[in-house]
């Protein structure tokens, strides 16, 4: 969609000039002569940039600016104010109200277009400037450039080419080496001296042969060299290469340079006029102030790239103005050139002592003035680039140092973690060995209790009365319960020790084998067990049997009071992960307690309802953790339970 520019100005000449220029630049202009027309235009269509005059027939442009900034629909709209450069108070008031930028009248149309393009920030075709005194040749190149998607601008000689370069800020320049007047090497040298154009890639064309010509072109600053007798396709290829390199350099550097602005501070109307015309011809945006007070007020709201300051002015002097500017952190690095009608030695020393970066007599002429301004802006730009490079180097150094310190900290943490893990593993081994030893030591007295209790029952026989026989039965039951607990503890300790032998394990076959064993142990039970085929994992076969044995054993146990008992074993995909499950339709449990089931001695139901040690699920979890997996459960009371587990 073509971007729209709203032009609000009561001058028919200004509206027509800007409308034609904006249209020629590939944009859509919406001209309005008053604030009322502008309101209607904004209500009817969307615009992307506003050019707004200060003096309008039905109101104040800055008041309208305030209205636009107060509306949510236009609060962020780029607004470029246009007014006489002499109206400093308007400029200050507009910028304080929210103007994006200000350009003085009479304006330079290319400067306005360049600022609009910056405000739009849209990707546009690369502009290529072709400078050649042969109309046939330059038109031929321009035609091929247009066909290749470039925007071609042509110039017939070096002087015209430099003017076009300042106005259009091309992406690249193709220049003939031999031309009447200013030749190609002189053009490139002048380009390289301009702070805004010095990085513009230049391709030199020549009809001459010989290595000396190419050397001269490259020494002058050309980025590439092409002979005219070569095919134009070669020129396009060279051009594409230098543009590609230029874009890469721009991507690594700061944002592209904006239109340069010079502030002239002088109370002499004639000198203001002469200097303004000369500088605007060089492509600068010029702001003026007729006193030091106005200059300081303007600099508070609008930065500039160079200050031209008269030494002798009413009110605060140029020297005092210079001292105040150079003491303000926001603008103290802005190049400042002191200008005076007196070119005495003492005046120059006094100006430079006050902080001026340069000193020039008005009698030196505008050419010297323009050259001094270019030199100061170029110096500042180079200093900024060097500062950016230094900051990047410092940042890189700090990042490298921080990375080194972080790596060292991580190394120390890894060593500490490894040491802690080793200590924890050793403690676990000692604890597990202790548990195993204690468990073994408990077996002997338990067996003695069980054996002597059985012997007592056999020896006394019928002599034992009913209550005594019941007490002996409880002792035997408790003894068997303790033996089962000891066996479970020994198993839990055993699975956490020793190396695992990892191989393919057929869970389907394991499940069928365990289901058969359960069925033989309880032939009175009628349980339907459905096992999916091809359930294969990589793990330790002995430990995976512990997992299946416990999960299937629990499902078998908790369906003992279910009329049509059923157990399903299978696998499913969840969030890209293969998950195995054992599902039953038995007693179930409250899902709120699911996490506690994996802790030792935690039970789903009382031992009287469903006997067990309360260690089986803790053992399963330990096995799966050793394999890098996990286990969780879903259930409802009397609705069965499903245990899910993963084995990566």
In this prediction, residue 224 has a pLDDT band, given cuts at 50, 70 and 90, of confident
* pLDDT tens digits, one per residue of 546-604: 899 999 999 999 998 898 999 999 999 988 899 999 999 998 888 887 777 787 766 66
| Same-domain check for residues 561 and 604 | yes
Same domain, residue pair 232 and 269: no
For residue 626, is it within any domain? yes
Q: How confident is the model at residue 256 (pLDDT cuts 50, 70, 90)?
A: very low
**What's the CA gap between 430 and 409, in Å, rounded?**
31
Same domain, 512 and 636: yes
Q: pLDDT tens digit string along 498-556?
A: 678 899 999 999 999 999 999 999 999 989 999 999 999 999 998 999 899 999 999 99
CATH number of residue 341's parent domain: 3.40.50.2300
My answer on whether 140 and 244 are in the same domain is: yes
Residue 439: per-residue pLDDT: 64
Helix (H, G, I), strand (E, B) or coil at 367: helix
For 550-564, the DSSP string reads HHHHHHHHHTTT-TT
pLDDT at 190: 87
Q: Highest mean pLDDT range out of 204-218, 313-327, 447-461, 599-613? A: 313-327
Residue 123 pLDDT > 70: no
Which long-range contacts does 398-407 make (Cβ < 8 Å, 24+ apart)?
none
| Confidence at 254, pLDDT banded by 50, 70, 90 | very low
Do residues 307 and 199 share a domain?
no
DSSP H or E run through 487: helix 466-495
Whether residue 379 lies inside any domain: the answer is: no
> What's the whole-number average pLDDT of the chain?
84
Q: Is residue 11 part of a domain?
A: yes
Answer whether residue 424 is part of any domain.
yes
Which are the contacts of 527, defined by CB distance < 8 A and separation ≥ 6?
A: 518, 519, 556, 559, 565, 566, 567
User: How much is the average pLDDT of 25-36?
Assistant: 92
Query: What's the pLDDT at 5?
Result: 93
CA 504 to the chain's CA centroid: 45
**130 touches 174 (CB < 8 A):** yes
19-29 tens-digit pLDDT: 999 998 888 99
Q: How far apart are CA 617 and CA 600, in angstroms?
A: 8
Q: Assess whether 71 and 139 both reside in one domain.
A: no
Q: How many whole angstroms separate alpha carbon 282 and alpha carbon 389?
A: 29
d(CA 607, CA 160): 103
* Domain membership flag for residue 175: yes
Tell me if 369 is assigned to some domain.
no
- The answer to whether residues 148 and 130 touch, using CB atoms and an 8 Å cutoff, is no
Residue 374 domain-assigned? Answer: no
| Least confident piece of the model among 268-272, 471-475, 529-533 | 471-475
Give the pLDDT band (50/70/90) at residue 2: confident
**The predicted structure's pLDDT at residue 498:** 63
Confidence of residue 428 (pLDDT cuts 50, 70, 90): low
Q: Which of 197-206, 477-486, 556-565 has the lowest mean pLDDT?
A: 477-486
Which has more pLDDT, 344 or 339? 339
Query: For residue 187, with 0-12 CB atoms within 10 Å meaning exposed, 13-18 middle and 19 or more buried, which class applies?
Result: buried
Residues 275 and 246 in one domain: no
Higher per-residue confidence, 502 vs 615: 502
Q: What pLDDT does 493 receive?
A: 63
Q: Please report, for the chain, how many H helices and E strands are present, in that order.
A: 19, 24
Degrees to nearest 5, angle at CA 24 with 19 and 27: 70
Residues 353 and 485 both lie in one domain? no
Question: Does 375 score more than 60 pLDDT?
Answer: yes
Per-position b or e across 404-424, b if 16+ CB within 10 A of its CB: eeeeeeeeeeeeeeeeeeeee
pLDDT at residue 252 tops 60: no
Q: Which of 523, 509, 533, 532 is nearest to 556 (CA)?
A: 523
pLDDT at position 458 is: 78
Residue pair 111/259 in contact (Cβ under 8 Å)? The answer is yes
What is the b/e burial string over 79-109, where b = at least 16 CB atoms within 10 angstroms of the residue's CB?
bbbbbebbbbebbbbbbebebbbbbbbebbe
206, 231, 252 — which closes off a domain? Answer: 252
Question: How many CA atoms lie within 13 Å of 62's alpha carbon, on the beta-carbon side?
Answer: 14
Q: What is the mean pLDDT of residues 307-331?
A: 90
Final residue in a domain of this structure, among 97, 120, 143: 120
Strands 172-176 and 127-131, how do they pair? parallel
Note if the pTM is more than 0.75: no
Predicted confidence at residue 257, as pLDDT, reads 47
Residue 209 pLDDT grade (very low, low, confident, very high; cuts 50, 70, 90) = low
549 plus 421 within the same structural domain = no
Can you tell me whether residue 178 is helix, strand or coil?
coil
Question: Average pLDDT for residues 278-295, to the nearest whole number?
Answer: 86
Per the domain annotation, does 378 fall within a domain? Answer: no
Task: Identify the domain containing residue 153 by its residue range.
Answer: 127-252
Number of independent structural domains in the chain: 5
Q: How many CA atoms lie within 13 A of 15 on its CB side?
A: 14
pLDDT computed for residue 552 by the predictor: 95
Please name the helix (run of DSSP H) or strand (run of DSSP E) that holds residue 453, with its range, or none. helix 366-460
Q: Are 488 and 505 within one domain? A: no
Of residues 465 and 140, more confidently modeled: 140
Distance CA 190, CA 186 (A): 6
pLDDT computed for residue 484 by the predictor: 66
CA atoms of 192 and 259, how far apart (whole Å)? 17
pLDDT, residue 255, reads 41
Query: How much is the pLDDT for 468?
Result: 81
Q: In this structure, are 227 and 266 located in the same domain?
A: no
Could you tell me whether strands 49-53 and 4-8 are parallel, antiparallel, or unpaired per DSSP bridges?
parallel
Q: Are residues 229 and 132 in the same domain?
A: yes
Least confident of 46-55, 74-83, 148-157, 421-430: 421-430
pLDDT bin (cut points 50, 70, 90) of residue 49 is very high
The domain boundary residue, chosen from 473, 492, 511: 492
> Which residues make Cβ contacts (< 8 Å) with residue 460, sequence separation at least 6?
none
């Amino acid at each position: 969609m073509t971007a729209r520019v709203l032009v609000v100005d009561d001058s028919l000449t200004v509206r027509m000039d800007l409308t034609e220029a904006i249209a020629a630049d590939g944009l859509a202009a919406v001209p309005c002569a008053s604030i009322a027309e502008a309101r209607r235009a904004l209500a009817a269509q969307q615009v992307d940039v506003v050019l707004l005059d200060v003096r309008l027939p039905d109101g104040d442009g800055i008041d309208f600016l305030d209205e636009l900034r107060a509306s949510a629909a236009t609060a962020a709209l780029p607004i470029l104010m246009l007014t006489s450069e002499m109206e400093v108070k308007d400029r200050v008031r507009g910028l304080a109200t929210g103007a994006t930028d200000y350009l003085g009248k009479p304006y330079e149309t290319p400067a306005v277009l360049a600022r609009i393009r910056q405000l739009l920030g849209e990707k546009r075709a690369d502009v290529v400037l072709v400078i050649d005194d042969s109309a046939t040749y330059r038109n031929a190149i321009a035609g091929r450039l247009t066909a290749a998607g470039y925007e071609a601008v042509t110039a017939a000689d070096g002087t015209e080419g430099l003017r076009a370069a300042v106005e259009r800020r091309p992406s690249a320049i193709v220049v003939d080496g031999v031309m009447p007047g200013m030749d190609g090497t002189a053009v490139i040298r002048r380009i390289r001296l301009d702070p805004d154009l010095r990085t513009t890639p230049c391709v030199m064309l020549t009809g001459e042969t010989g290595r000396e010509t190419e050397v001269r072109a490259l020494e002058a600053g050309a980025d590439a060299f092409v002979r005219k007798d070569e095919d134009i396709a070669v020129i396009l290829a060279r051009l594409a290469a230098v543009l590609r390199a230029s874009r890469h350099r721009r991507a690594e550097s700061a944002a592209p340079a904006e239109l340069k602005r010079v502030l002239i501070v002088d109370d002499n109307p004639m000198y203001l006029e002469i200097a303004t015309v000369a500088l605007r011809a060089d492509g600068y945006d010029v702001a003026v102030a007729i006193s030091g007070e106005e200059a300081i007020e303007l600099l508070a709201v609008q930065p500039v790239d160079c200050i031209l300051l008269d030494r002798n002015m009413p009110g605060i002097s140029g020297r005092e103005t210079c001292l105040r500017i150079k003491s303000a952190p926001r603008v103290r690095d802005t190049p400042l050139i002191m200008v005076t009608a007196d070119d005495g030695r003492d005046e120059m020393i006094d100006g430079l002592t006050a902080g001026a970066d340069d000193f020039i007599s008005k009698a030196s002429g505008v050419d010297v003035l323009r050259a001094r301004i270019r030199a100061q802006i170029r110096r500042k730009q180079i200093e900024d680039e060097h500062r950016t490079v230094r900051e990047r180097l410092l940042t890189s150094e700090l990042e490298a140092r921080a990375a080194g310190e972080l790596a060292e900290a991580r190394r120390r943490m890894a060593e500490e973690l490894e040491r802690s893990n080793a200590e924890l593993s050793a403690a676990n081994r000692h604890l597990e060995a202790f548990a195993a030893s204690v468990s073994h030591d408990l077996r002997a007295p338990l067996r003695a209790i069980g054996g002597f209790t059985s012997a007592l029952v056999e020896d006394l026989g019928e002599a034992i009365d009913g209550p005594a026989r019941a007490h002996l039965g409880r002792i035997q039951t408790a003894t068997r319960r303790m033996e089962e607990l000891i066996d479970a503890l020994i198993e839990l300790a055993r699975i956490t020790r020793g190396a695992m032998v990892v191989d393919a394990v057929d869970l389907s076959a394991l499940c069928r084998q365990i289901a058969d064993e359960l069925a033989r142990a309880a032939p009175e039970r009628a349980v339907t067990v459905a096992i999916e085929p091809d359930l294969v994992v990589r793990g330790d076969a002995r430990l995976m049997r512990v997992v299946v044995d416990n999960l299937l054993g629990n499902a078998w146990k908790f369906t003992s009071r279910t009329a049509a008992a059923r157990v399903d074993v299978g696998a499913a995909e969840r969030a890209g992960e293969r998950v195995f499950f054992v599902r039953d339709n038995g007693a179930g449990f409250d899902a709120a307690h699911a996490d506690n089931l994996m802790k030792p001695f935690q039970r789903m139901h009382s031992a009287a309802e469903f006997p067990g040690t309360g260690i089986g699920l803790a053992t399963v979890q330990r096995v799966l953790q050793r394999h890098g997996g996990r286990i969780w459960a879903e259930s409802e009371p009397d609705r069965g339970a499903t245990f899910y587990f993963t084995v990566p």
